C-alpha cells in the first residue's frame, strides 16, 4: 500500500490516492486499485479530505446517522442487498394492508 500524488494538468490541483497492489491470477500480471483520499494543499502540504467526487468537504462536516455509506466488500454488498429486499417486502406488505383498509372504508 502506498500514497500517490497526481496533479491534474487542467485545474492544477494535486489529488492524493491510496494505492493497493495485487496479483491478477487470470492475466498473470500485477494490478493496482486506487482510492481517492483528498486534495493536497500546495502551501501547507496538508491533505484535505474530499467526499470521493473531488469536491471539498465543509470544514465543520459531521456525518449524520442518515448518511449512507456504500459497503466496501462484496459480502457487505450482499448483506445490504438482502436488507433492502427484506425492507422492500415489508413495505409491499404494509402497502397491501393499507390498500385493503381503504377499500373496506370506501
Rg of the chain on CA atoms, in Å:
23
Strand partners, 40: 14, 47
Write the pLDDT tens digit of every residue in 76-105. 888 889 999 999 999 999 999 999 988 888
Whether the per-residue pLDDT at 11 is higher than 90: the answer is no
Please give the Cα distance from 6 to 51 (Å, whole number).
Answer: 17
Write the pLDDT tens digit of every residue in 39-50. 888 888 888 888
CA angle 54, 75, 24 (to 5 degrees): 70
Handedness of CA 42, 46, 52, 56 (dihedral sign): negative
Amino acid at each position: 500500500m502506498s500514497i500517490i500524488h497526481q496533479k491534474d494538468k487542467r485545474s492544477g490541483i494535486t489529488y492524493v490516492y491510496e494505492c493497493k497492489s495485487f496479483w491478477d491470477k487470470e492475466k498473470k500480471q500485477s494490478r493496482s486499485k486506487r482510492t481517492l483520499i483528498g486534495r493536497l494543499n500546495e502551501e501547507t502540504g496538508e491533505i484535505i479530505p474530499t467526499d470521493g467526487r473531488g469536491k471539498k468537504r465543509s470544514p465543520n462536516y459531521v456525518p449524520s446517522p442518515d448518511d449512507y455509506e456504500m459497503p466496501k466488500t462484496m459480502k457487505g454488498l450482499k448483506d445490504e442487498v438482502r436488507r433492502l429486499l427484506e425492507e422492500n417486502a415489508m413495505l409491499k406488505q404494509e402497502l397491501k394492508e393499507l390498500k385493503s383498509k381503504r377499500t373496506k372504508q370506501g
